[in-house]
Chain A
Amino acid sequence: MSNRIDVKKTYKLFINGVFPRTESGRTYEVKSAKGSFIANPCLASRKDLKDAVVAARAAHHGWNKATAYNKGQILYRLAEMLEGRRAQFVDEIIAVTGATKAKAEKEVSESVDRLVWYAGWSDKISSLSGALNPVAGPYYNFTIPESMGVVAAIAPETPSLLGLIDVIAPIIVSGNTLVVLASSKAPLSAMSFAEVIATSDVPAGVINILTGMKDEIAPWMASHMDIDGFDITGLATKKHAEIRASGAENLKRIFAFKSHDPARILAFMEAKTVWHPIGL
């Protein structure tokens, strides 16, 4: 029998490489599958979103300029760090979802593997999707995909860890920076994953994670003039039309995805075409 007092973790947000509380001071309750209290994560407000976008915008230039090799290394580093802490993630998944140990272990393993898979795409995506175009003139004409800028995302409710990683990895691997709203019912793995990010050489502001309610945050993500793309995979299908309409005002590119796929990377990239004169 131990006399130690429980040391419980305070679940905060992850913005610009640090862990602030929400500016609103609000929290909400996360309960286990059986209904018992687990934690009080932050209930992020639109102003937390605004701060996160400012951080993401500031981080974009540097992250976009990092070499594909370097970005791949950093994604692989995320996988290494996650692997080293798998026990904690397994426990959190079991506590919140009531999943069996085997099922939770499988989700964490798949998450690690998924990070490695996307890390591998880093230095291949532009060669595979770029092109040398035939043109009727004395020019070389290249098309190369480039990152879009700041992308927002709503992570799916389940699986809370694997779903989050499927949202994060394809968006950042191309050089975008990201503001993601974690699963509302199971945000613990997301905030623990923020600790993995903080120790993996991901520059501050490249990945920002909020916890809170989709219905409160998603409309602000859609209407924000400084967010270039929006992954609404985690948003209920009946909300899609409204969000797409609001994002159309600022020409935001909005997509939802069903599985992991290199198309997820390309969705948040833009094609740049360069004309280079021959013989100069």
Chain B
Amino acid sequence: MSFYGLVDGTDTSLKNYLGSLSGVDQVGADARAAMLATRSIKTTSKRWAIDMAISMVDLTTLEGADTVGKVQALCTKAVRPDPTDLTVPSVGAVCVYNDMVATARKHLDLVGGQHVGVAAVSTAFPSGRASMPVKLRDTRDALDAGASEIDMVIDRGAFLSGHYIDVFNEIVAIKELCGTRAHLKVIFETGELVTYDNVRKASFLAMAAGADFIKTSTGKIAPAATAPVVLVMLEAVRDFYSMTQQRIGVKPAGGIRNTKDAIKQLVLVNETAGPEWLTPSLFRIGASALLNDLLMQRMKMDTGYYASPAYVTID
């Protein structure tokens, strides 16, 4: 593995690489994110943004109470979010636990959703507390069941103790397993990383180790995808592109519940990483409740009336 020529796989080279990163100006990042959040997106731009956001949603159900029926309903909704309006695009992917991957893939194919991916959360999601053989087995399971995207969690304990090489090696091993079969998204759980410096460090570490996407959170912990954290990650992919000519995707997840939040994310993408990232292959939003709000806003724009949740599905 070449790791883009940035590191050679040794602890020393990784420490040098991460040590060369400049720190994040926390006050500046907060202020910049807050300023971008004030942009007002209206009429045709809003319409475009809503459809773009729908196509970027990773429609997620990660509950202990998930059932086959619920996952099937979710898949149907993923393919055709509003059955009464065929102009609504399909979402980017459905995101489920490992044991539901086969169910999801089968049902998506059944309802004409061959173009919708299945993302599996693996490596002992959400805590990441399992031994490496278990994590590998977990991932292989998901791949064999037909997952086209693997959302892995990093070992935050190792990262916070400074054992970066362990985190790096884990990502490398999972990436090797995914090969060309699946995209790899690396989840940092930024709510546990404490500082923006750590978020930046984790981003560069994961990108060098071979991540196709970097993802903020599991959705199980708050705060999750706050605007400044997403900003720091978008700056990281932008800088990584200028270093390697390689575009890495970003996936905020957790806490993005309404259209306004989603559009704020799109503004961040456009103004930070650039318009090249405004595509579902480079930007995804992990969410469950968000899709209904996007659909309701779309109805409002079509009919001129405020919509009711009674006209969209519950899950």
Chain A residues packing against B (C-beta within 8 Å): 46, 49-50, 53, 57, 220, 223-226, 249-250
Determine if A53 and B306 form an interchain contact, defined as CB atoms under 8 angstroms apart. yes
Q: Which residues of the partner chain B approach A225 to less than 8 Å between Cβ atoms?
A: 305-308, 310-311
- Contact among B305, B309, B311 with A57 in the assembled complex (CB-CB below 8 Å): B309
Q: Which residues of the partner chain B approach A220 to less than 8 Å between Cβ atoms?
A: 306
Determine if A226 and B307 form an interchain contact, defined as CB atoms under 8 angstroms apart. yes
Determine if A226 and B310 form an interchain contact, defined as CB atoms under 8 angstroms apart. yes
Q: Which residues of the partner chain A approach B305 to less than 8 Å between Cβ atoms?
A: 223-225, 249-250
Q: Which residues of the partner chain A approach B307 to less than 8 Å between Cβ atoms?
A: 225-226
- What are 25 A-B pairs with beta-carbon distances under 8 A? A46-B306, A49-B306, A50-B306, A53-B306, A57-B309, A220-B306, A223-B304, A223-B305, A223-B306, A224-B305, A224-B306, A224-B308, A225-B305, A225-B306, A225-B307, A225-B308, A225-B310, A225-B311, A226-B306, A226-B307, A226-B309, A226-B310, A249-B305, A250-B305, A250-B308
Q: Separation in Å of the B92 CB from the closest CB of chain A?
A: 26
Q: Which residues of the partner chain A approach B304 to less than 8 Å between Cβ atoms?
A: 223
Q: Separation in Å of the B50 CB from the closest CB of chain A?
A: 16
A53-B306, A224-B306, A226-B309 given; 9 more Cβ-contact pairs under 8 Å: A57-B309, A223-B306, A224-B305, A224-B308, A225-B308, A226-B307, A226-B308, A249-B305, A250-B305
Complex-state Cα separation, A249 to B305, whole angstroms: 10
Complex-state Cα separation, A224 to B309, whole angstroms: 11
Q: Separation in Å of the B270 CB from the closest CB of chain A?
A: 24
Q: Separation in Å of the A147 CB from the closest CB of chain B?
A: 15
Closest residue of B by beta carbon distance from A223: B305
Q: Separation in Å of the A183 CB from the closest CB of chain B?
A: 24
Q: Which residues of the partner chain B approach A250 to less than 8 Å between Cβ atoms?
A: 305, 308
Q: Which residues of the partner chain A approach B308 to less than 8 Å between Cβ atoms?
A: 224-226, 250
Complex-state Cα separation, A46 to B304, whole angstroms: 12
Q: Separation in Å of the B301 CB from the closest CB of chain A?
A: 13
Contact indicator per residue, chain B 278-313, by CB within 8 Å of chain A (1) or not (0)? 000000000000000000000000001111111100
Q: Which residues of the partner chain B approach A223 to less than 8 Å between Cβ atoms?
A: 304-306
The 5 closest A-B CB pairs, nearest first, are A226-B308, A225-B308, A223-B305, A224-B306, A225-B307
Q: Separation in Å of the B264 CB from the closest CB of chain A?
A: 15
Q: Which residues of the partner chain B approach A50 to less than 8 Å between Cβ atoms?
A: 306
Q: Which residues of the partner chain A approach B306 to less than 8 Å between Cβ atoms?
A: 46, 49-50, 53, 220, 223-226
Complex-state Cα separation, A226 to B311, whole angstroms: 9
Closest residue of B by beta carbon distance from A246: B305
Complex-state Cα separation, A220 to B311, whole angstroms: 18
Complex-state Cα separation, A33 to B306, whole angstroms: 37
Closest residue of B by beta carbon distance from A250: B305
Q: Which residues of the partner chain B approach A46 to less than 8 Å between Cβ atoms?
A: 306
Complex-state Cα separation, A57 to B293, whole angstroms: 14
Q: Separation in Å of the B311 CB from the closest CB of chain A?
A: 7
Q: Separation in Å of the A57 CB from the closest CB of chain B?
A: 7
Complex-state Cα separation, A57 to B309, whole angstroms: 9
Closest residue of A by beta carbon distance from B311: A225
